[in-house]
């Protein structure tokens, strides 16, 4: 079974730009969660989608948004990028109905 696939793996953007990250979950998994990971703050929960609906949301500004498609693939968008948005963005998928989450390799975003 293929794992969670995130694209792109690396990204460099300029302040003020916007960026879209993509996540393909494990086949059959209906829940997709997004996390931001930085050395200082650790893993911080952004949001979770289940069957195309946002089910939970973390404490991030409205510049961070996401969506999930009918095939469970998910995208995350960050608008008006700031230097502090530089981080590893991780996507995790779960079948739903259990707490185990399986992570992708992440997208490393650098904002310059």
Closest CA to 34 of 1, 67, 79: 67
Give min distance, CB of 75 to another protein, in A: 18
Nearer to another protein, 14 or 59 (CB): 59
Residue appearing with tokens 């931001």: 36
Nearer to another protein, 75 or 79 (CB): 75
Q: What are the C-alpha distances in Å from 34 to residues 1, 9, 28, 56? A: 21, 15, 18, 10
Site of interaction with another protein (CB under 8 A): 4, 6, 33, 42-43, 45, 48, 56, 90, 92, 94, 97-106, 108
Q: How far is the CB of 40 from another protein (least distance, A)?
A: 10
């Amino acid at each position: 079974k293929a794992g969670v696939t995130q694209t792109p793996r690396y990204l460099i953007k300029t302040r003020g730009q916007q960026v879209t990250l993509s996540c393909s979950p494990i086949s059959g998994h209906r829940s997709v969660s997004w996390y931001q990971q930085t050395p200082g703050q650790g893993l911080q929960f952004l949001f979770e989608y289940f069957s195309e609906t946002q089910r939970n949301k973390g404490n991030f500004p409205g510049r961070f948004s996401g969506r999930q498609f009918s095939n469970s693939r998910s995208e995350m968008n960050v608008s008006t990028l700031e230097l502090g948005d530089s981080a590893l963005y991780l996507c995790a998928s779960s079948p739903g109905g259990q707490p185990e989450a399986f992570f992708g390799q992440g997208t490393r975003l650098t904002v310059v």
